[in-house]
Structure 1
Amino acid sequence: MLKLIGAALILFAGTMIGFQQAARLAARPRHIRTLLHTLQRLETEIGYGYTPLPEALERAAEHTPEPLAAMLKEAAKRLDDADGPSFRESWSRAIEGHWANSAMRSPEKAALIRLGSSLGISDREDQVKHLRLAMQQLKAEEDAARDDQERYEKLCKSLGVLVAALIVILIV
């Protein structure tokens, strides 16, 4: 009886690990799509609304789900400090602090950090150009993430179940 309960727990745990990995693969394209929408909103605020950068970040964060909203709010808060760091430092720290909460990977992080090094130091048109470039890079990453999801989501689910079944067979 005890072996049967242990086997069921191992099967359940392996299945859940597989499903959790599949959910992470499915969340990555969603997070990138949300980030793209946020950058479009930021582009509108800067390009057409003539909004200062800290206020534009706050406004964009209002319409963005977590964890991206927290990242934008932190960057805006750091900028509002009178003797605070530059935008580049604020942006990088905010990304580093909240990156683990997202399903995105290092290519998206690199694109955002590159964007942070060019925002806030040039005129409005140049900032809009850099935002569009970052959006193009993120769009390519979103397409790659969708391909990975299609290719590996089902595999992760099946692999979780099969590895758990193998462990049960080896133990019993």
Structure 2
Amino acid sequence: MRLVGAALIAAAFAALGVSESLRLRRRARLVSALCSGLELLRGEIVSRLAPMPEAAERLARYGPEPARGFYAAVCAGLENLGGAEFSEIWRRALGLLDLPDPARAAMENLGGSLGRYGAEEQAAAISACEQELRREAERAAQEAQVMGRLRAGLAAGAGLILAIVLY
């Protein structure tokens, strides 16, 4: 019975480590998807001169998969404005995402510019945010690769040590 308990402890810690590794990978994919979504958003605003509600709806339907939920939350917020500014709706939608702080800050800054200025100014703000997200996507991918393995290994090792101590 003690052996089964020790094995369960080791397995639980290993699962925790794998879960953290997967979270880091999802985060890297999300930042990359947001970056791709910004390319599409810039096209919608500059080429099609689409208003923000229409552009957000299009991205919620056809944008990169990991970022669709964000744009869907923006659309839902726009439908229920209730006196809220667009930047606040954008910030609330960002709250649903697991983003690194630099990426979150860049996206929040962008939310303050969208819908307030002309197409060219918005395109410049999107490009600046996109550059920051590209840098952050590279960092997140490296972190997922290195730290993901490290955290998974450390958690599995800690589980084994605890199982040995308790056995």
Instruction: Give runs of aligned pairs for residues 49-128 of structure 1, distance below 5 A.
Output: 49-64=48-63, 68-81=67-80, 83-96=82-95, 98-99=96-97, 102=98, 104-128=99-123
Higher relative contact order (CA 8 A, sep 6+): 2
Q: 1:25 to 1:83 in 2, by over 3 A?
A: closer
Aligned-partner residue type, residue 165 of structure 2: L
Structure 2 unaligned residues grouped into runs of 5+? none
Report the TM-score when normalising by structure 1: 0.90
Alignment of 1:1-172 (within 5 A): 2-64=1-63, 68-81=67-80, 83-96=82-95, 98-99=96-97, 102=98, 104-172=99-167
What is the one-letter code of the residue matched to 1:26? Answer: R
Q: Could you tell me the TM-score, scaled by structure 2's length?
A: 0.92
Q: In 1, Cα distance between the equivalents of 2:13 and 2:80?
A: 47
| Closer/same/farther in 2, CA of residues 74 and 152 from structure 1, 3 Å limit | closer
Give the C-alpha shift of residue 80 in structure 1. Answer: 3.6
Q: Which runs of 4+ in 1 moved over 6 A?
A: none
Structure 1 gaps of 5+ residues are none
How far apart are the structure 1 equivalents of 2:115 and 2:35? 19
Per-residue deviation at 1:158? 1.2
Mapped to 1, the partners of 2:21 and 2:79 lie a distance apart of 39
Contact kept in structure 1, 2:33 and 2:66, CA below 8 Å:
no
Match of 1:49, SS state, is coil
User: How far off its partner does 1:51 sit?
Assistant: 0.6
Report the CA distance shift for 1:81/1:20 in structure 2 as closer, same or farther (over 3 A).
Answer: closer
Deviation of the 1:171 alpha carbon: 0.6
Q: Deviations over 1:150-171 (max 9, x none)?
A: 3212212211211001101111
Give the percent of matched residue pairs that are identical in Structure 1 and Structure 2: 31
* Separation of aligned partners in 2, 1:77 and 1:16: 35
The 2-side partners of 1:70 and 1:153 are apart by: 25
